[in-house]
Structures are given as structure tokens and as C-alpha cells.
Amino acid sequence: MHLPLAVSAVFLFSFGISLHAAEIKGKVTNVVGGEALGRIEVSVLDLKVETRTAADGTFTIPNLPAGNYVLRVNAVGYRLLTVPFALATANEVKEFSVVMVPDNFRRTDTVEVTADVFQAGDSPAVVEQNLTSSEVREASTVLADDPFRAIQALPGVSASGNNELLAEFSVMGAPFSEVGLYLDDVLLESPFHKVPSVQNGASLSLLTSEITEEMRLLAVAYPEKYGDQVGAALEIRTRDGSRTSPLFRVSLGMGDSDALAEGGLGREKRGSWLVSARRSYLGYLVRNLIRPDFADISFYDGNLKLTYEVTPSHTLTLFGLGGHTHVDDVTATTPTGIRTASTDFAFLRTGWRWSVNPHLLLDNRVAYIQQPYVQSNLFGQVLSHDSYGEWVAGSTVVWGWSRNSTLDAGGTLRRLADHFTSYTPNILLGNYTTKQDALRESGYAQQSSSLFGDRLHVMGGIRLDGREDLRMPPFSAQGSVAWKLARATQVQFGIGKYAQLHFPDFEFGQGMSCSGISSSYQRSNHYSGAVEQRVGENTRVRVQIFDRQSREFTVTSGGQQCPFPLLEGTRQPVRNYSRGVQVMLQRRSANRLSGWVGYTFARAKESFLLDQAPQGPKYSPYFTSYSDQPHSVNAFAAYCLKPTVSLSGKLLYGSGYPVVSGLQLASSGGFQPTPVVRLGNYVRADFRADKCWAFRRWKTTLYGEILNLTNHDNRIINFVEFLPNRQAVVHAQRALPITPTAGMVFEF
């Protein structure tokens, strides 16, 4: 009789303890958008108690005795978070609101809520594709931590000529030369580690996924704010440093090694600092993976960003980016072949943001860009050198003059100088020099509004581009509209006119007085229509049709003592177009299945001016341009398998770019398109896995990746040889074979 009573007493005593035991609970959300995060590892270090968050981000850890503890929150792809806490009594309940930060995002304790997980730009009336900081890291490759490789994974985007060794890309039939790159609102020409005229090599951007906060691609009918180029626009935002105690990140990979440090600035943490440096040995890997005689390319780069709030309304920023590239091509065995080449890149930007009031923002910036290079032959003789420099000053005003309307206006002034000289060894008067200087100015104003209870969004803008030698500055205009037919269905229409100005003058010849002015610019008209269907809050299906129609204008005036006559007047020597359709399915989630798949059909063709007759210009038949790729498929997916393991992969397909195209004489005496010779289909599948291990104060992550998982025989162009019978022989080489890569990151 006494034994059952004793058991009952113990049971009641235990029940009483559990009834009054302390517990902790809370919710974990993502810093961007405030999305609840499931599959997050939550543990009390001192007691070695661990749990995972539910799908709604909540967690509970019961039966904790009173005491002092450390709460650790960890997940792959996110920064390690430790929070000291104390339980004063045995029945205390403590709640936590935990904000997780991606490991390549600035650390903050505030949640930035956006209205739309897919729209991060000016207005829903503008068709855009954006990449978050996490997507930039996951869609880049471990071998080359380059945000531009992530851009190449977007629907309708392909590496130029399907050459996966190049960071340059084309967008739905628009070549890279017509894509505007905006780094923190400053237009950049070529922020890459590469040297002109060296084809037997690779290129890589000076940016890494660790300093890139967001990238936004505007493929067609984009706002006039980005109207410097006629093809497409890419907006890149660098991130600020974390306003915390110093954080450090060291990465060791097969292609490069880099280190990053960041932290708060000042005692009150009113600012932040971020500094990083990278050293690459990509050339060594490429020569071992592709061909031993491939050009040896090596580089190093670094950046610094300072942000400080002088007052709550005034913020100052300073950003510097620089690097050096060296190329050694052992295949250059002639006096005119480029054996060694080197280039430098320097970008310095300072900015001042003034929040005049909650409805008015003034953003000012001044920047300097320098990008010289020099090329030499195997005897050390200089074959060419170039010194490019540019000063930029600009201002932007954003005025929310009503609850549903925003006016955005601004202007930019650019002073450009590019002095180039080429030398022909051992030939008298064999030098060729160009001296190009220009003062360019541009101004724009655009208005966006939402009407009828947010069912109709409209946007319109105007732009004026000027250059000191142009008598009539090009005027441009853009308009777009988005109309919600139903709660989850929206149609979008856009139209835009754009101008792209080139350098205005040239001089040539050694000891000659010949000089002339040759002004050129391009004009383009864009048309776009799209239907978008939402499936829940995180998934969308979009079908878009597009059309670009471009013309190139050349304005010339004669010089004196020139070896060839300059045709004075205005001509339109080139016409081209690119048009097609794109279908895309996209899902975006912070730590569940996320990604996209898109198919793009695009045709790009051009035509040359044959005769400027009095009765009107006569043009050649349209022929296939070198940016024509009829079919492409881009797919990317990322999935959080468990708190410490994530998987991602991408599939890229392209139907092949032309390597031979143009015009030839027909039997009738006229011109006809040359038979097009294309590279074979491009197919590449990549698979990546990330695994992290967390400790009390630091964590480490192992990145493993397999490039070209199917070992497809992709070909990249080497050169085209034309035989005496006018037949073209294409010399190509294999791109990357199946390539396993790995990297290790330490965060503390």
C-alpha cells in the first residue's frame, strides 16, 4: 500500500515542478521583408537544449531552471546570433523576437518590410527582375564569386557568346555594349578584371557577393532614370557595414581567397565601416581545366565603404573600389602579338543624403573613375596603351507629394577623357593615336502614381541627353502602366525611347595635322506587354512580349590633310531590332523552396546603309546579328534541407550564338545575308551544397559545388579563319568540363 502512494507523490511533485518551470519562446523572422523563418536551429548553449522553429517561425523551449544562459540562433546562409538572457525565477516566461540576417547582408535589428517580394524598384508598372543578397550569393559560383554570374542565371540573360568564362552578358537580344551598369547610381563602362583584345582568357567583375546588397535588371521599357544605354539597365547596390561590434569573414576557395571586416563607426554606432580584399588564382585553374596554353590571368582587388549619420537627416557615404589585373598569353609568339597586358581599375564615390522631411529626399554624389591599361609583345615592346578617366557629379530629388504619387527628378554631369595610342614595332610612322574628350550632361524627371484603390499604377518620364558637340540634344520619353484585372492578375504595358551617346571626336596619325569630328549616338524605341498571375504571396507566372528597334546616327565634319575623305553630314549607317517572348515561373521564400525557371525566344537582326541617295537611304537586307540566340532556358532553385544544410542548383541552355554572319554579294550584283554559322547548343547544370557548423562565438561553412554536372561538351569561340575560297573555318575550344570546386568560410 505504501509503494503506490510513494509513486503518486513523486508524480505529483514532478508535475508541480513542470507546471511552474520557466520557459522561453519566440519568433524568428528574416530582416528583409519580415518573413517567418522555419527550420532555424535554436539552442540554449549552457544546457545543451536545442529545438527548431516551426513553419511560422515560432519556437518554445520549456522546463528551464533559473539562471544565466546564452541563446544561440543559427542557420546556413545566416549570421550566427547569440543573445545572453537570464531567468530570475522558476516560473518566468521570456519571449524573444529574433531577426535573422543573411551572412552577406548588413546586420541590423530592424525589419525592413516591403510590399512585394518580387518588386523592389520604382513602380509595379515597370517590369523588372531583382536578386536579393542571398540569391546573388547562391546563384554565383563557388569557383568565381561574381555577382554577374548570378545575373547570367536570370531568364533571358546569357554570357556573351555563351562564353561562360566571360562576365559580360546579353539581355534578350541586346548586346552587352548596350547595357547600362549603375553602381550606386553611377554609370560604369566595364568594372571587370580583363584586358581588351585578349581573347584567350577570362573576365571577372571587381564586385563580390559579400558586398552586393541587391541587383535589379530592367530589360525593356525601363524608367528614364536609367536611360543612358539603349538595350537594358542593371542597377547594383552595395551594402553598408554592420552597426555592431566588429565582424570578420575569411573565405578560402579554389579560385580566390578573400577577407572582409565590418563594424559600427563611433561610440553611438551612428555609422558603419566595411573593408574587404581578394586575391585570385583563377588563371592557374583555367589553364589546368581547359588548356595548358590558356592565358594566365591573375588579379587582386579591394573595397572600402564608410557610412555616417551626421544627424538623423544627413548621411554621408564614401565608397572606394579598386583592383589590378595582369595577363600573360604564352600563345603570342609574333612581334605584333599581345604577350603581356595589365590594367588597373579605380572607382571612388562620395555621397550626401538629406532627408528634408518624411516626403522629400535629396541625394547628391560625386565620383571618379580611372581605368588605364598597357599591352606589350614578347620582346617587351609596348603595342598599345590607354588612359581612361571620368569625373561624375549628380543629384536626385525624390518627392512624395501625395500619398499615392511620387516625383523623381535628377541630373548628371560627366567629364570623360580617353587617350589611346597603338604602336607597330619597327615601322616608321606606324603609330595610331586617338584623343577623345567629352562633356556630357543629362537630366530626367519621372512621375509614378497609383489610382483607383491601388488597382492602377502609371509611370511616365522624360529625359534630355546632351554633349558639348551636339546641336540638338536627344530627347527621350517613357511611359508604362500596370492594371490589376483581379486580385491576383495584372497586365503591364510599357513604351520607351532612349539615346546612347558615344565619344565625339578623334585625332590620328603621327606628325599629321589631320583631325576631324565624328559624333555618333544610338536611338532606340522599346515596346513591352506582360501578363502576370500570382499564386499565393510567394509565386508568380509572367508572360512578356518585347520589341526593341534601334538606329545608329553618325554626324561627321571634315578635317584637313586627312589620308581619307570624311563624309560630312548626318547618316543612319545601322538599323537593328530584337524582339521575342518570355515565359517565367518564379517562387521566392527566405528558407524554403525558392527560384525560377524561364524560357525566352528572341531574334536579333541588323541592316547596313548601302547608299545615301537623294531620294532616300537604301539599306541592305536584314541579317542575323551576333547577339541573336533564338532559344534559351534559365532555371535556378534553392532549398533549405535542414537548419545547417542548404542545396541549390541551376540549369542553363542556349541554342548557340552566331560566329559567322553578315552580307555577301549575290549573283544579281546586290547583297544577301551570309549563311549563319553558329556554335553548338550550350547546356550546363551546376549543383551546390552548403553545410555550416556553429560554435559559441563563431561559425564555419563549407561550400561544395560541381560545375557542368552532365559534363556537356560546350564550345567557346577561339577565332575564325577565312580561307582563300572565302570559306570560314571556326576554331573553337571546349569550355569548363565537369568541375568540382569547394570553399571554406570562417565567420567570427
CATH number, domain containing residue 62: 2.60.40.10
Which pLDDT band, with edges at 50, 70 and 90, does 298 fall under?
confident
The DSSP line for 463-485 is EEEEETT-SS--EEEEEEEEEEE
Q: How much is the pLDDT for 227?
A: 95
The residue-averaged pLDDT of 590-616 equals: 87
Contact partners, residue 612, CB within 8 Å, separation at least 6 = 569, 571
**Higher pLDDT among residues 434 and 317, named by residue:** 317
Q: How many domains does the chain have?
A: 2
pLDDT beyond 90 at 580: yes
Same domain? 172 vs 283: yes
pLDDT beyond 70 at 107: no
The residue-averaged pLDDT of 426-432 equals: 60
Contact partners, residue 710, CB within 8 Å, separation at least 6 = 683, 684, 685, 738
Which pLDDT band, with edges at 50, 70 and 90, does 198 fall under?
low
Rounded distance, CA 477 to CA 101, Å? 40
In a domain, 350, yes or no: yes
Kindly report, residue by residue over 687-716, the tens digit of the pLDDT: 999 999 999 889 999 999 999 999 999 988
Taking CA atoms, 747 is separated from 82, 247, 255, 275, in Å, by 13, 7, 19, 15
Q: How much is the pLDDT for 555?
A: 62
Same domain? 494 vs 433: yes
Asked whether 295 and 284 are in contact (CB, 8 A), the reply is no
Which pLDDT band, with edges at 50, 70 and 90, does 598 fall under?
very high
In a domain, 108, yes or no: no
Rounded distance, CA 223 to CA 486, Å? 26
Rounded distance, CA 285 to CA 347, Å? 28
The residue-averaged pLDDT of 195-202 equals: 71
Rounded distance, CA 451 to CA 482, Å? 10
pLDDT beyond 80 at 121: no
The residue-averaged pLDDT of 336-362 equals: 92
DSSP H helices, 457-565, are none
Same domain? 70 vs 171: no
Q: Give the CATH number for residue 233.
A: 2.40.170.20
State which amino acid sits at residue 472. Answer: M
Domain boundary among 55, 83, 100: 100
Kindly report, residue by residue over 126-153, the tens digit of the pLDDT: 899 999 888 999 999 888 889 999 999 9
pLDDT beyond 80 at 15: no
Task: Pick the range with the lowest mean pLDDT from 126-135, 499-508, 527-536.
Answer: 499-508
Kindly report, residue by residue over 615-628, the tens digit of the pLDDT: 777 888 999 999 99
Element containing residue 239 per DSSP (H, E): none
Q: How much is the pLDDT for 18?
A: 43
Q: How much is the pLDDT for 557?
A: 54
The DSSP line for 401-450 is EETTEEEEEEEEEEEEEEEEEE--TT-TT--EEEEEEEEEEEEEEEEEEE
pLDDT beyond 50 at 509: no
Same domain? 218 vs 158: yes
Rounded distance, CA 201 to CA 342, Å? 13
pLDDT beyond 70 at 717: yes
Q: Average per-residue pLDDT in the chain?
A: 86
Q: How many other C-beta atoms are found inside a 10 Å radius of the C-beta of residue 475?
A: 11
Q: How much is the pLDDT for 561?
A: 46
Which pLDDT band, with edges at 50, 70 and 90, does 196 fall under?
confident
The residue-averaged pLDDT of 598-612 equals: 90
Rounded distance, CA 80 to CA 100, Å? 8
Rounded distance, CA 375 to CA 517, Å? 27
pLDDT beyond 60 at 9: no
Which pLDDT band, with edges at 50, 70 and 90, does 733 fall under?
confident
The residue-averaged pLDDT of 29-45 equals: 88
Give the three-class secondary structure for 108: coil
Cell numbers that stand for 159 in this block: 554570357
Same domain? 50 vs 152: no
The residue-averaged pLDDT of 58-78 equals: 92
Q: How much is the pLDDT for 505?
A: 47
Kindly report, residue by residue over 644-654, the tens digit of the pLDDT: 999 999 999 99
- DSSP-assigned beta bridge partners for residue 84: 70
Rounded distance, CA 402 to CA 460, Å? 16
Same domain? 248 vs 142: yes
Distance of CA 518 to the CA centre of its chain: 33
Rounded distance, CA 80 to CA 643, Å? 12
The domain of 340 spans 129-747
Same domain? 160 vs 96: no
pLDDT beyond 60 at 560: no
pLDDT beyond 80 at 587: yes
Overall size of the chain counted in residues? 748
In a domain, 137, yes or no: yes
Rounded distance, CA 384 to CA 677, Å? 32
Same domain? 200 vs 81: no
State which amino acid sits at residue 42. Answer: V
Rounded distance, CA 13 to CA 7, Å? 10
Same domain? 255 vs 393: yes
